[in-house]
Amino acid sequence: MATIWIVAGLLFLPAMAQPPGPIPPLQGSLLTTIFPGATQASAMTGSPPAAEVQVEGGFGGYIFSTWSVIHSTGYSGAPIDILVGLSRDGRITGAVLRQHTEPILVIGISDADLKAFVAQFSGLSIRGKISRKTSETAGRLPDAISGATVSSAVIGDAILTSARLVAESRRMFEATPTVAPEIPEVKSWQDFIASGAIGHMRLSRGEVAARRGEKIDHDEEEDEHEDDPFIDLYAGVVTPHAIGSPMIGAQTYNKLRAEMAAGDQLFAILAKGLYSYKGTRYVRSGVFDRISLVQGALTIPFTRDRYVLIENLAFPDDDIPELREIGLFILPADSGFDGSLPWRLDLRVDADDANPVVFSLAHTPQASSVIKPAPEPAPEAAPKSAPVQTTPTLQPKISSQPQAQITIQPPPPAQLQAEAQLPTTISIEPLWKRAWTTSVPEIIFLTLMLTTLTGILLFQDFIVRKTHAYLIARNIFLAVTLIWLGYIAGGQLSVVNVLTFVHAMRQDFRWEYFLVSPIIFILWGYVAVAMLFWGRGVYCGWLCPFGAMQELLNEVARRLKVPQIRVPFGLHERLWPIKYVIFLGLFAISLYSMELAVIASEVEPFKTAIVLKFVRGWPFLFYVVAILVAGLFIERFFCRYFCPLGAALAIPSRLHMFDWLKRRRQCGTECSICAQHCTVQAVHPNGAINPNECVQCLKCQTLYYDDHTCPPLIASRKRAEKLRASGSLIAEKLSEGKK
């Protein structure tokens, strides 16, 4: 009870995962580690912020913080910050991990392993396609840290996504480095309208009716007039960081920009009023047929696959109109649209019983609201030996001071030719998509495995009748769970997953955090559904690699005649709450600090035995071996009394729908064989099965149908045999009488 009050009190405490502190001065060994050959670096400025790096000969590239650029977070939702160097030709020069609280990395992975992994990103080019399987060193991602695949992917994604945003904002891949025009940062709705990026069109009911040749019916009660708004339409390009980021929020903007290809544009359409620019036909056709974008002879349709729904604008002011629809459309680079040139948005107003009419919102962007392509270099180029006076490509800043001129030496002709052949499109798929694409074989095998288990559970009444065959099949399934699911696929669930989910719900929940590990995601999805049907035992008894290890080792011990200890039920029942207290304690700690909770979750031996494959220090190994040795004498010793994950699954399992484990009235009164054979001693002395402790091993069901073990069935079988024997005897006598 005291633990419950503690948890209730801690619900109102903030988590301790604080944002990274100030970035240390970029000088000395830190500077040369991130950017070898650098002589100095400026302060981090611009949007997104980055420091300009000087090398011998002039401008060399940028250094940036992943937290400052994209607010990078790990699998646990806590901040991750990495300082990264990016050369002017699009190569990562180095990276230093400043802060993290990733669960697997907090304890069990050395700092040397982390530094070695992050250092492997040096030399990676972000200009071409980046993959973990490519043979080209410049485009090949480093191998993940053993035992920390998800966290390795999270770190790599933070580096690549941030590098891409910095490169695109500085237009680093233009043929000629330029300085983009000043774009004032939008801070409010009024700034947004005044920026020149957005066009506005207001249509009244009277205007629309006149164009359609209709007459408005006046409602005297509502006193409607022809000037009543039909639609207020706002539209424009919001690709620049200074406009798009304040409009929809930095995190949403950075996420979208990271998934867009170079040259893609973000086009916003906002509206309020009676009329919807989206309509409903796009649901079936995939095309928003009420709107189209026109530029010169070019007409660009808006399609559903490039539509992003925005719930609310991120502006802090209270004068934002009550918008009915807020949508973003991604215009691909090959669409031919140029955001710096005039365009118009055609709005088609139609009805089922009238001809459509078109209204056009024409807009000419202001020079201060767009980033124009770099001009072609003049034919009269300076001699190759002479320095070129130019400025680096910078994201526009709010400043009245002119940008400083930087002298750089032109690259050698061979380098220029090589760079010209590189693609300017940065192809970096979202992390979770890459994870699912590269895990197709594992996903297929896991699906087959879960389908098999579902079949066993659905048809258990028929399967368990063949006791010997069923027990062999179960041991094979447990071996697959241990070897493939645990050691090969990395499918060991943990109480840390539960705590991480709760932590994400309290902060910034995003499905991407959990989709980065397909096997874990699919397992949790299956377990969640299975708990509603059968309870916690589906995972604990069939899909937990460490549980499978304990049960298989105990099976070997039994065959070797190792004596088994049967804990008296009174004591056994009083030991059950230990795992619940452990879980509630971990949950309470996680509300205060996820890092401390991860350390405390070492009460689970899963990381040592399964994730890290026993490659750890001797205290961890001693703890795991002690648990496994205890399990030789008491089957599933850890599962019974200490597993916090089992406790976490048992709590919602009380709501399970099916109760398919059959019992007889003699159970617990005339017979206790099931209680003696139960894997985790979940059968009470009165014969009832405790669903919170049952692991669905189905041993009791094999006994239920075994007419050589179950006393009621034995009695029935013997009566049947006697009747058959009596019938045979009577038949013989009748036969003799006839003779």
Q: In what order do the strands lie in the sheet with 229-237?
A: 198-204, 229-237, 265-273, 325-331, 307-309
Burial environment of residue 240 by CB neighbours within 10 A (0 to 12, 13 to 18, 19 or more): buried
Q: What is the pLDDT of residue 295?
A: 92
Scanning the structure block, which residue is given the tokens 């995939």? 286
Query: In whole angstroms, how far apart are CA 268 and each of 19, 234, 299, 328, 369?
Result: 31, 8, 17, 5, 14
Distance (Å, rounded) from C-alpha 451 to C-alpha 473?
15
57 and 85 in a single domain? The answer is yes
- Residues of the domain holding 548: 432-706
> Is 73 contained in some domain?
yes
> Is 536 contained in some domain?
yes
Residues counted in the chain: 739
Q: Are 453 and 474 in contact (CB under 8 A)?
A: no
Distance (Å, rounded) from C-alpha 663 to C-alpha 690?
12
Distance (Å, rounded) from C-alpha 269 to C-alpha 253?
15
> Is 60 contained in some domain?
yes
CB atoms within 10 A of CB 458: 13
34 and 164 in a single domain? The answer is yes
> Is 645 contained in some domain?
yes
534 and 609 in a single domain? The answer is yes
Which of 728, 699, 705 minimizes the C-alpha distance to 717?
705
Q: Which of residues 345, 369, 393 is at a domain's end?
A: 369
Sign of the four-CA dihedral 416, 419, 425, 426: negative
> Is 478 contained in some domain?
yes
Q: What is the DSSP letter of 138?
A: G
Which of 478, 482, 477, 446 minimizes the C-alpha distance to 610?
482
Distance (Å, rounded) from C-alpha 706 to C-alpha 458?
20
Tokens representing residue 521 in the block: 């995601």
Rg from Cα positions in the chain: 34
Q: What is the pLDDT of residue 254?
A: 76
Percent of the chain predicted with pLDDT > 90: 33
Distance (Å, rounded) from C-alpha 234 to C-alpha 729?
99
Residues with Cβ within 8 Å of 292's Cβ and at least 6 positions away in sequence, in order, are 299, 300, 301, 302, 345, 346, 348
Task: Report the SS3 class of residue 61.
Answer: strand
193 and 88 in a single domain? The answer is no
Tokens representing residue 553 in the block: 């080792």
Q: Are 40 and 27 in contact (CB under 8 A)?
A: yes
- How many domains does the chain divide into? 3
228 and 332 in a single domain? The answer is yes
> Is 477 contained in some domain?
yes
Q: In what order do the strands lie in the sheet with 354-363?
A: 298-303, 287-295, 343-351, 354-363
Crossing angle (nearest 10°) for helices 440-458 and 518-533: 10
Q: Which positions of the chain have pLDDT values less than 50?
A: 1-17, 131-139, 175-181, 220-223, 353, 372-427
443 and 572 in a single domain? The answer is yes
Give the helix, strand, coil percentages of the chain, each rounded to 5. 45, 15, 40
204 and 318 in a single domain? The answer is yes
143 and 202 in a single domain? The answer is no
Residues with Cβ within 8 Å of 94's Cβ and at least 6 positions away in sequence, in order, are 33, 34, 35, 36, 84, 85, 119, 121, 122
The DSSP annotation for 293-357 comes to: EEETTEEEEEEGGGEEE-SS-----S-----SEEEEEEE-GGG---TTS-EEEEEEEEETTEEEE
Q: Are 103 and 598 in contact (CB under 8 A)?
A: yes
462 and 519 in a single domain? The answer is yes
Query: Could you check whether the bond before residue 518 is cis, i.e. omega within 30 degrees of 0?
Result: no
Crossing angle (nearest 10°) for helices 577-592 and 495-506: 40
Q: Are 603 and 495 in contact (CB under 8 A)?
A: no
Distance (Å, rounded) from C-alpha 171 to C-alpha 110?
38
Task: Report the SS3 class of residue 20.
Answer: coil
Q: Which of residues 125, 159, 179 is at a domain's end?
A: 179
Residues with Cβ within 8 Å of 377's Cβ and at least 6 positions away in sequence, in order, are 175, 176
502 and 477 in a single domain? The answer is yes
Kindly report the pTM of this predicted structure.
0.64
Distance (Å, rounded) from C-alpha 636 to C-alpha 659?
23
Task: Report the SS3 class of residue 438.
Answer: coil
232 and 157 in a single domain? The answer is no
Q: What is the pLDDT of residue 387?
A: 40
Q: What is the pLDDT of residue 378?
A: 41
> Is 273 contained in some domain?
yes
Q: What is the pLDDT of residue 428?
A: 52
- How far is residue 317 CA from its own chain's centroid? 32
Which of 690, 572, 586 minimizes the C-alpha distance to 644?
586
574 and 436 in a single domain? The answer is yes
Amino acid at 268: A
* Segment 659-663 long-range contacts (CB within 8 Å, at least 24 positions apart): 659/691, 660/460, 660/461, 660/534, 661/689, 661/694, 661/698, 661/700, 661/701, 662/461, 662/701, 662/704, 663/687, 663/688, 663/689, 663/704
Query: In whole angstroms, how far apart are CA 19 and each of 104, 118, 505?
Result: 19, 20, 18
> Is 209 contained in some domain?
yes
Which of 413, 407, 414 minimizes the C-alpha distance to 55?
407
58-65 vs 307-309, strand pairing mode: unpaired
